[in-house]
């Protein structure tokens, strides 16, 4: 076993410690609590979790893949605007959009109030769909999670060789057949990556389903751990949830088998987009505009309305500190996660070209933290960190008579470690999807030119998959900006973020006060979304060569 493999396996082992701690509770007897859960609420958890995942998967696939194909391969008015606007719902926390739509659509909200006043209806005179249901939770989560699929799908479509599609056109395959038979199969690894991320985010969501009173595994874990005070039973529920996600990933990889998804040719020409007729242009505009409107513009406008009257109270002298804390920790966590993903993926690909099954298993375990609810993950970190702190403190007291206190627990180290464990799956899966498109011939050509090791990574691989790297950086940055549960438990004393401020206000039903921090999360996230989306659009292989050719 090489030194690189040992290093990667040790890194994966360290990152998997919180998950292993949670799994370790499976062997702790839960007594009558687990029997009670299995006989009462466990079937409800299974039903709601399954249908919530299936519903959100359908929504994000249709919106994410469909809009990515439209803005990449079709020409219609507003295409360039939608290419970055479709990213915007990423900056909207799911629980905030749930609060917003509940305020708009419930019985006392403006929509039903206007209906009753306009038509002189009483409550018994009309039917209105309830927002706080399983269907409402699917809709809310789908509106804010489809950008996961859109981001990676658009990057995959941009990185595809247009020659393959042109060959399909010469064989009589129109836009629809070319999409389903050529572009979609080639983009499958990226699409599955985005879908897996959206599914893990759905299965670990707490704020939305708890507010909508939809009992899932996540709400059950919270209630069992913090309500009943039974960490063993709660950890067992968390282990079942992680095994469910792990099984989905294994099923997809088994179904993929040994098939490769390399591009058919190394030639990358300028994309020749399909020109749509007027009717189809209107449909394309609606398909792209509706997700942006309902997932971002409408709830943001509602938040602006609520925060306008309390501007001086919300944007006080503490506000810049909250912004700096949120942006700083999010950027640092995103960079560290991306670097670790590069080390793990390319460390294992360096010698044999692909990880072994053992190494693949280590990577999957290391990335399973994304499926663990934040507080459960925080406890999985606090237990080993607390043990280390207490051991060091006891040894120092016995040896030199000095108390070291808490060196890891309650520090930025613990918080950043939690972010990396929580969101490593995003960087890992996105980088792996980009690395899978690099053919072995590219590596062989680099070796014949004397480019090996780190030089091959920096001069060959990174320029080719720069879009995937920027996608990973963007996803982790925005997710850390919105992360709440782990931050609440592990943050250093006195360290607050915008997400904490927004949640504390919203949980007290002070939705107007929560509007300011929520808007700040959106505003801070807009600029990197625009910059990185433009950079992703320019990351298509051969793009720079085409620009240089035009200049000459």
CB 374 within 8 A of CB 486: yes
Structure tokens at 124: 């018994």
Half-sphere exposure of 174 (CA within 13 A, CB side): 3
pLDDT reported for residue 4: 61
Structure tokens at 419: 């972010």
Rounded to whole angstroms, how far apart are CA atoms 379 and 386? 10
The secondary element (H helix, E strand) that includes residue 215 is none
Residue 276 is given by DSSP the state: P
Question: Strand pairing partners for 274?
Answer: 74
**253 Cβ partners below 8 Å, 6+ apart?**
none
Q: What angle do CA 135, 138, 143 make, to 5 degrees?
A: 130
pLDDT reported for residue 265: 46
pLDDT reported for residue 487: 84
The secondary element (H helix, E strand) that includes residue 74 is strand 74-75
Residue 182 is given by DSSP the state: I
Rounded to whole angstroms, how far apart are CA atoms 233 and 468? 39
What are the C-alpha distances in Å from 291 to residues 51, 136, 238, 296? 22, 15, 32, 8
pLDDT reported for residue 55: 95
Q: What angle do CA 196, 202, 204 make, to 5 degrees?
A: 105
pLDDT reported for residue 64: 93
Reply yes or no on domain 3-551 having CATH 1.10.286.10. Answer: no
List, in sequence order, every beta strand (DSSP E) within 221-374: 274-275
pLDDT reported for residue 476: 87
Phi-psi region of 492 (alpha: psi -120 to 50; beta: other; left: phi over 0): beta
Rounded to whole angstroms, how far apart are CA atoms 307 and 369? 35
Pick from 70, 55, 71, 189: nearest CA to 135: 55
What are the residue ranges spanned by the domains of the chain? 3-551
What are the C-alpha distances in Å from 422 to residues 112, 231, 374, 380? 40, 20, 8, 11
pLDDT reported for residue 255: 59
Mean pLDDT by 10 residues, the chain (552 residues): 69 81 74 79 90 94 92 87 86 84 84 89 85 92 92 77 57 62 71 82 82 86 76 76 70 58 49 78 94 93 78 70 88 91 73 62 72 73 84 87 80 90 83 73 72 70 77 82 80 84 74 76 71 59 44 35
Rounded to whole angstroms, how far apart are CA atoms 271 and 538? 12
pLDDT reported for residue 243: 73
Structure tokens at 487: 């931050």
């Amino acid at each position: 076993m090489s030194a690189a493999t040992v290093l990667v396996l040790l890194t994966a082992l360290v990152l998997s410690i919180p998950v292993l701690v949670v799994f370790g509770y499976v062997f702790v007897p839960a007594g009558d609590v687990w029997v009670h859960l299995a006989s009462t609420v466990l079937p409800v958890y299974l039903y709601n979790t399954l249908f919530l995942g299936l519903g959100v998967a359908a929504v994000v696939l249709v919106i994410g893949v469909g809009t990515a194909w439209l803005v990449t391969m079709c020409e219609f008015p507003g295409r360039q605007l939608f290419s970055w606007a479709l990213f915007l719902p990423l900056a909207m926390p799911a629980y905030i959009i749930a609060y917003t739509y509940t305020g708009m659509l419930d019985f006392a909200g403006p929509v039903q109030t206007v209906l009753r006043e306009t038509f002189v209806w009483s409550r018994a005179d009309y039917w209105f769909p309830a927002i706080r249901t399983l269907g409402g939770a699917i809709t809310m989560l789908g509106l804010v999670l489809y950008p996961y699929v859109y981001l990676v799908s658009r990057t995959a479509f941009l990185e595809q060789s247009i020659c393959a599609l042109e060959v399909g056109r010469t064989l009589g395959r129109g836009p629809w057949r070319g999409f389903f038979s050529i572009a979609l199969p080639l983009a499958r690894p990226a699409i599955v990556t985005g879908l897996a991320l959206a599914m893990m985010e759905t299965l670990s969501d707490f704020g939305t389903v708890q507010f909508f009173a939809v009992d899932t595994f996540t709400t059950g874990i919270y209630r069992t751990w913090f309500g009943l005070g039974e960490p063993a039973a709660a950890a067992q529920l968390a282990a079942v949830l992680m095994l469910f996600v792990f099984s989905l990933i294994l099923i997809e990889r088994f179904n993929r088998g040994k098939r490769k998804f390399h591009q058919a040719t190394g030639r990358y020409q300028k994309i020749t987009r399909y020109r749509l007729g007027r009717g189809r242009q209107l449909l394309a505009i609606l398909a792209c505009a509706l997700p942006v409107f309902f997932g971002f513009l409408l709830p943001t406008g509602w938040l602006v309305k609520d925060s306008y009257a309390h501007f001086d109270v919300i944007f006080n002298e503490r506000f810049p500190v909250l912004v700096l804390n949120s942006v700083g920790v999010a950027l640092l966590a995103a960079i560290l996660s991306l670097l670790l993903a590069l080390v793990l993926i390319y460390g294992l690909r360096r010698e044999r070209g692909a990880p072994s099954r053992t190494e693949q298993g280590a990577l999957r375990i290391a990335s399973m933290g994304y499926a663990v609810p934040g507080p459960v993950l925080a406890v999985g970190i606090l237990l080993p960190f607390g043990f280390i702190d207490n051991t060091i403190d006891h040894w120092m007291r016995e040896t030199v008579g000095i108390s070291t206190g808490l060196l890891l627990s309650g520090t930025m180290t613990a918080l950043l470690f939690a972010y990396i464990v929580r969101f490593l799956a995003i960087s890992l899966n996105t980088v792996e999807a980009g690395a899978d498109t690099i053919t072995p011939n590219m590596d062989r050509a680099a070796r014949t030119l004397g480019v090996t090791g780190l030089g091959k990574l920096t001069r060959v691989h990174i320029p080719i998959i720069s879009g995937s790297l920027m996608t990973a950086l963007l996803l982790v940055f925005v997710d850390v900006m919105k992360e709440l549960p782990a931050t609440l438990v592990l943050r250093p004393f006195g360290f607050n973020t915008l997400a904490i401020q927004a949640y504390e206000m919203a949980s007290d039903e002070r939705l107007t006060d929560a509007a300011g921090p929520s808007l700040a999360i959106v505003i801070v996230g807009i600029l990197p979304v625009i910059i990185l989306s433009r950079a992703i659009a320019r990351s298509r292989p051969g793009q720079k060569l085409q620009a240089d050719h035009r200049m000459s």
